[in-house]
Copies of this chain bind each other. A is one copy, B any other.
């Protein structure tokens, strides 16, 4: 496998910033977007359960409605893509069986071969007392996907802006996510920065490494 030099990674991560003004005329090439979608799909999750869905909002009227409930932020309508990350609000036996079926399909093995794994997941997720923690657990997996996507976009030279500032209840209503047992947790706009975005050139602010990374 080809790898990149550490300096190239850092150059990409320093190039990225939370893009405020996107060029609304510039699309993401099809092959690049396909790789970013695949990055979302390949996200590692707890037990491999993938308790999320990613909504690629392409309908301009829907984008306009969402923007109203996201402090009017222009990225929602102007970026080439606007992705809403939704996570499961509960987990049931059916979710676990769905994964077991998929394992059997992908690995060409009988479902029974995953019986032990099935019981381990059921114990961890369906035990009484766990129910209240599941929405947070599912949201965490969606945030792993967000982190993966942001890094992947940077090394492909795609601009992005992670966005938490929106009314989740309103987003759920507009996107009708609850009917399938999902709720909106975070979002990201992706595309290319407009030439005039002043945030592109101001210095990135991070705490010193010694403050954030502690050797124990």
A residues with a Cβ closer than 8 A to B are 1-4, 6-16, 18, 31-32, 34-35, 37-44, 46, 48, 50, 52-59, 62, 99, 102-103, 106-107, 136, 139-140, 143-152, 155-157, 162, 164, 175, 186, 202-207, 209, 211-216
Chain A interface SS verdict (over half): helix
CB-based closest 9 A-B pairs: A147-B147, A6-B35, A143-B143, A3-B157, A151-B151, A144-B147, A147-B148, A13-B42, A148-B151
A13 to B202, CA, bound (A): 32
User: Closest approach, in angstroms, between the C-beta of A215 and any C-beta of chain B?
Assistant: 5
In chain B, what residue has the closest Cβ to A147? Answer: B147
Q: Could you say which residues of chain B place their CB within 8 Å of the CB of A186?
A: 140
Contact call B13/A1, Cβ cutoff below 8 A: no
User: Closest approach, in angstroms, between the C-beta of A40 and any C-beta of chain B?
Assistant: 6
Q: Which of B102, B146, B155 contacts A207, CB < 8 Å?
A: B102
User: Closest approach, in angstroms, between the C-beta of A88 and any C-beta of chain B?
Assistant: 12
Q: Which of B10, B107, B146, B211 contacts A35, CB < 8 Å?
A: B10
Contact call B151/A50, Cβ cutoff below 8 A: no
In the assembled complex, 27 residue pairs joining A and B whose CB atoms fall closer than 8 Å, in A order, are A1-B11, A1-B12, A1-B15, A6-B31, A6-B32, A6-B34, A6-B35, A10-B39, A13-B42, A37-B209, A37-B213, A40-B212, A41-B206, A41-B212, A46-B164, A50-B206, A54-B214, A56-B214, A58-B215, A139-B140, A140-B186, A143-B144, A143-B146, A144-B147, A145-B147, A147-B150, A175-B216
